[in-house]
Amino acid sequence: MPPTRPNLVLITTDQQRFDTWGRFAPPFMRTPHLNHLAADGVTFTRAYADCPVCVPARAAYMTGRSVFGHGMGTNAPTCDYFGCEETLPTLLRAQGYQTCGIGKLHFHPQRIRHGFDETITLDDYYREMARSGSPLQPRRHGLGENEFYPTMATVPEAQTLTSWITERAVDFLAERRDPTTPFFLWVSYSKPHPPLDPPEPYYSMYRQEEIAEPWLADWTDADDRPEDVRRHQQAQSTDRMSPRLIHQARAAYYGLITQIDYNIGRIIGAIQDTGCFFSPNDDTMILFCSDHGEYLGDHRMLAKDTFHEGSAHIPFILRLPRTWRDRPVGVESDALVGHQDILTTLLAAAGGPVPSDKEGQDLVGLLRGDVAPRELLFGGQGFNLKRPGAANWVGVTDGRWKYAWYYTDGSEQLFDLETDPRELHDRAKDPGATDMRTRLRERLTAHLRQVAPQLLQDGELFSRPFKPPTEAQRRSRGFPGFMRDQHRSDALH
């Protein structure tokens, strides 16, 4: 039991892949505040989004359940899957915490609070900007939420959404925090999710750097690659983007991450001003992660959705209060962790009982050796367990090997992440890996029989009846790029 109930700060980003900060990032990248959190805490190097899509990740934060536990395998209204009972803020409020959520919460409908005392959403930003009377307004560049083309913000840095979210968080810490109770603050940044539109100086910061080319594998252009991969490539026409364009898009993406990092510095400074950080009374726990990754052109794909490293592998840092004895500092853990662990970890730190239906593990207990690490982490996407029907894919990893089954055409992929961390060689058809493929498929199937039998037929994985579309049909079904009113329907992209 910690000596005091710590203040809890959860900082999340949207669509930030695992290799974009600290020693994992390109050498030119600037992420000083994330680097410091890692140096003063624990980095979990094998953290995964079990459903690498925006809203399901947030459902896991809020419910402490895996994607098969909360059942949301694709973006959907949150009110259909959970309400206000036994959510993370409700459970912390029961322990006497003041709770506040700021930014891209992705709740639907927008004003539902799911147990928070206070929420400040993206709607508030766009409404405030529209009412300001300023001729400079955000998102006037015409690019939408799923377009990879780089551009520059149409407002200065101080008026960007990233800066605004930070300002609201600082306001909470300085003006609205009840000093007699511990607080739980969730700061949810919407970047580096497209549009890739950093302001200066972040727009130009990395444009002249030597940015590595995307990863291209032996299966990237293979005739027998999974149909889901082919669709992903052609729906967004990533395979037609020039190397120069991808270089500039990557530079903009990295710039957005550095902007967030510098803004995190403002939040750390505001916590320090409360006397709860970097002091003898340092009783603040900070957990940082992203909701999922971003392909950035790897394997000629963009965005996310699948179990590949660029899409599902996420940054994950836990910094414990300095008032806690024997706290780990500058440590890396290769334990398998996921979003479902956030609720359990934070609630256990608050001293509260964790409901028995929560699937997460207490990461502090894990670090102390009181909790056994999970052997396998399961994932999937493209389903709704409230209705019958197959998923797009399901998968499992033991931290070294990763297996995925695709329902569209019954394809399989298998990767050895120890020898092939970029997933350049698909081992699914390798006779030397047959035993591993069979073992993981059997473990995955057995798990689905317990938690999602509707994703099986006669107790086994299956493929849907499938007529391959033409290339022209795939390209015509690309992501809707221009979403003019996206900020007014935040929960559904």
- Band the pLDDT of 482: cuts 50, 70, 90: very low
User: How far is 444 from 378, CA to CA, in rounded Å?
Assistant: 7
Q: Are 62 and 74 contacting, i.e. CB atoms less than 8 angstroms apart?
A: no
Report helix, strand or coil for 347.
Answer: helix
User: How far is 481 from 468, CA to CA, in rounded Å?
Assistant: 24
For the chain, the distance separating the N- and C-terminal CA atoms, rounded to the nearest angstrom, is: 40
pTM for the whole structure:
0.94
User: How far is 125 from 120, CA to CA, in rounded Å?
Assistant: 9
Residue 474 parent element (H or E): helix 471-476
Chain-centre distance for alpha carbon 303 = 12
User: Helices in 83-182 by DSSP H: which ranges?
Assistant: 88-93, 122-131, 161-171
Mean pLDDT for the stretch of residues 57-77? 93
Mean pLDDT for the stretch of residues 423-438? 98
Report helix, strand or coil for 467.
Answer: coil
Whole-number pLDDT of residue 381: 96
Q: Is 132 exposed, middle or buried (0-12, 13-18, 19+ CB in 10 A)?
A: exposed
Mean pLDDT for the stretch of residues 301-308? 94
> Above 70 in pLDDT, residue 68?
yes
**Burial annotation 250-283 (CB, 10 A radius, 16+ → b, else e):** bbbbbbbbbbbbbbbeebbebbeebebbeeeebb
Mean pLDDT for the stretch of residues 456-463? 95
Tens digit of each residue's pLDDT (9 = 90 or more) over 242-283: 999 999 999 999 999 999 999 999 999 999 888 766 666 668
Q: Give me the residues paired with residue 402 across strands.
A: 397, 415
- C-beta atoms surrounding 167 within 10 Å: 15
Tens digit of each residue's pLDDT (9 = 90 or more) over 173-212: 999 999 889 999 999 999 999 999 999 999 999 999 999 9
Q: Are 377 and 394 contacting, i.e. CB atoms less than 8 angstroms apart?
A: no
Report helix, strand or coil for 46.
Answer: strand
Q: Give me the residues paired with residue 98 across strands.
A: 183
Least confident of 151-155, 241-245, 444-448, 483-487: 483-487
Question: What token pair was written down for 457?
Answer: 């037929």
Whole-number pLDDT of residue 367: 96
- Band the pLDDT of 83: cuts 50, 70, 90: confident
Amino acid letter for position 158: A
Tens digit of each residue's pLDDT (9 = 90 or more) over 358-385: 999 999 999 999 999 999 999 999 999 9
- C-beta atoms surrounding 53 within 10 Å: 24
Tens digit of each residue's pLDDT (9 = 90 or more) over 112-167: 898 899 999 999 999 999 999 999 999 999 998 888 999 999 999 999 999 999 99
User: How far is 474 from 460, CA to CA, in rounded Å?
Assistant: 29
Whole-number pLDDT of residue 203: 98
Q: Are 123 and 164 contacting, i.e. CB atoms less than 8 angstroms apart?
A: no
> Above 60 in pLDDT, residue 30?
yes
Higher-confidence residue of 277 and 449: namely 449
Mean pLDDT for the stretch of residues 447-455? 96
- Band the pLDDT of 298: cuts 50, 70, 90: very high
User: How far is 113 from 101, CA to CA, in rounded Å?
Assistant: 9
Site of tokens 């990233």: 162
Q: What is the total residue count of the chain?
A: 493
Whole-number pLDDT of residue 489: 40
> Above 70 in pLDDT, residue 91?
yes
Q: Are 410 and 462 contacting, i.e. CB atoms less than 8 angstroms apart?
A: yes
- Band the pLDDT of 486: cuts 50, 70, 90: very low
- Band the pLDDT of 238: cuts 50, 70, 90: confident
Whole-number pLDDT of residue 107: 87
Whole-number pLDDT of residue 484: 40
